[in-house]
Every structure is written in C-alpha cells, then in structure tokens.
C-alpha cells in the first residue's frame, strides 16, 4: 500500500466524530477546522495540498498549482497533517461540522477513486490524493448543484466523508439508473455515469416544489446519498430567521408573530 494503514472508531449518533489510531510515524491529513483533540506525541504541521506521494513527486510549482486548484472547490490552499512522532499508539479525533454521518471509505475496495461533493471530505490516511474533478457536460455544470467542479479522492487508503442527516449506500448494477435530488448526492465511484435531467411536465416544473432538475446516475458502481443536504438545512434556518426576525419569544405559541408585536419590541 502507498497510503498509511490507520485504524479508526466512529463515536456518536447525530453529531459524530472519528477517532484515528496512529502507529509511530503514521500520518492522517484533514481539512482545516475539522480537528477535535489529540494525544501527546502527535505533531501537527500545515502542508500545501494533501502531501500525498503523488504530489511529492512533483516540483515546487507543481505542488503550488495542485494546492491552488483547491481554491476552486472553496477549500483552503493548505491542509493539516497529524503525525505520530513517539512510541506506542496515539489517537487524534476529527469532528463532523453539522448533524449527519461520517462515512469511512476504503479506496482500495473502490478501484482507487471516488468523486464527492465539494465539502464532503473530512480526513484521510496520508497517501490519499485529494484533487478536483471537472465536469465536461454543460448540463451537469450549470444545473448540477455542484457546478463544473467536484472533489476526487484517489489512492489505496482510508478516507472519511461527512454527509447530512441519514446516509445510505446504493449499489447500482450495469445499466441500473437512479434519479435523486442534486443536493442529496454525496459521492460515487469511478464507473458511475453522472448527468443531470430536467423534470418532465410544465405542472411539475412550476408547482412541484422540487426544483427543475435532478441527478441521474447509471451503474455499475456505488452511490452515497444523504437525506439532509447542508444547503437545505441552511435555507430552513434562513427562512426561520426571517420569519421570527431574531425574536424567538412567540415560537410555538398560538399568538406567534402577533405575540412579538404586542410585547413592545416592535413599537
């Protein structure tokens, strides 16, 4: 294996975190801001890109270019590496950013590559390459929810994704098709054909309330689907914020917004 062999355990239900167990000189890489806690003898370092063997074989400008491409996915130029520099076994933990599930993926079992939404990656064993996947289809780029660019994870080690709500893993046979909401797509393996289809019927498009497009995935391969996309959660929070204007006193009461008016705050 090129990637470091790490052990792990996932804790929690709605708000999960993953605990990575490292042997001496093993390293795990993570997105900035996902760190939770670590034992003594674990050394933290900030690196360009993902620090994978694939990236280390390139020159300085190659590393800068690879790191710069991460800006296109809304991520930082840098990642954080956690290396066990002592003896025995030590642990480091990474927390999910919002309610959902942490998904462990062994890339060696998925033909060495998966494609995922831009903010799905949480952490991985050193040696896993974290890059970007460009879409060559205009429809998928303009209407796919993720634009022309998604993340790709390549290698033969363990990687951890995070998704909102409940997560299911679907195995698609050759030619089997699945249509889902574009925001509910988390990741898929290399041989899955991903495209965008328009909702049929004027009535469905105007009054359906489900958007104009959905994702079409055709097997063979594995697809991961989430029940609560972060964008949907954020929209609900924003709508509630506008409805109550930041004042929660009337929530759940019969008076509702009228109670807020009568309490004197709006006079």
From the CB of residue 106, how many other CB atoms can be counted at a distance below 10 Å?
Answer: 12
Choose among 147, 131, 135: nearest CA to 213: 147
Q: How far apart are CA 185 and CA 179, in angstroms?
A: 10
| pTM of the entire predicted model | 0.77
Q: How far apart are CA 174 and CA 197, in angstroms?
A: 19
- How confident is the prediction for the chain on average, in pLDDT? 79
What residues have CB less than 8 Å from 77, skipping those under 6 apart? Answer: 48, 67, 68, 70, 71
- Cβ–Cβ under 8 Å, residues 104 and 135: no
pLDDT tens, per residue, the chain with 267 residues:
588 889 999 999 888 999 999 999 999 999 888 999 999 999 999 887 666 655 555 555 555 555 555 555 555 667 899 999 999 999 999 999 888 999 999 999 999 999 998 889 999 999 999 888 876 554 444 444 444 578 899 999 999 999 999 999 999 999 999 999 888 999 999 999 988 887 654 544 444 445 567 889 999 999 999 998 877 777 677 777 776 665 555 454 444 544 454 444 444
What pLDDT shows up at residue 37?
96
Tokens 């903010």 belong to 119
Tokens 């799905």 belong to 120
* Three-state SS at 36: strand
- Cβ–Cβ under 8 Å, residues 34 and 98: no
Q: How far apart are CA 155 and CA 50, in angstroms?
A: 12
Reported as half-sphere exposure (CB side, CA atoms, 13 A), residue 205 has a value of 8
- In sequence order, the β-bridge partners of residue 125 are 28
* Three-state SS at 259: helix
């Amino acid at each position: 294996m090129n990637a470091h062999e790490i052990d792990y355990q996932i804790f929690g239900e709605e708000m999960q975190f993953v605990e990575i167990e490292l042997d001496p000189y093993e390293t795990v890489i993570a997105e900035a801001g996902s760190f939770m806690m670590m034992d003594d003898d674990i050394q933290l370092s900030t690196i360009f890109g993902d620090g994978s063997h694939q990236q280390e074989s390139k020159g300085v400008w190659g590393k800068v270019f690879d790191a710069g491409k991460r800006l296109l996915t809304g991520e930082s130029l840098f990642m954080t590496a956690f290396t066990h520099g002592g003896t025995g076994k030590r642990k480091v933990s990474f927390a999910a950013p919002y309610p959902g599930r942490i998904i462990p993926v062994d890339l060696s079992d998925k033909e060495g590559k998966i494609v995922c939404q831009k903010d799905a990656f949480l952490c991985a064993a050193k040696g896993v390459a974290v890059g970007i996947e460009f879409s060559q289809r205009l429809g998928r780029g303009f209407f796919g929810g993720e634009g022309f660019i998604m993340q790709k994870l390549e290698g033969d080690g363990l990687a951890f994704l995070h998704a909102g709500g409940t997560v299911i893993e679907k195995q698609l046979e050759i030619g089997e098709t699945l249509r889902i909401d574009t925001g509910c797509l988390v990741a898929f393996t290399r041989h899955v054909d991903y495209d965008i289809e328009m909702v049929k019927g004027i009535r469905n498009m105007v009054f359906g309330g489900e958007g104009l497009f959905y994702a079409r995935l055709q097997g063979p391969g594995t697809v991961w689907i989430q029940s609560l996309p972060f964008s949907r959660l954020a929209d609900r929070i924003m709508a509630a914020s506008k409805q109550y204007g930041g004042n929660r006193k009337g929530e759940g009461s019969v008076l509702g917004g009228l109670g807020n008016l009568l309490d004197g705050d709006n006079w």
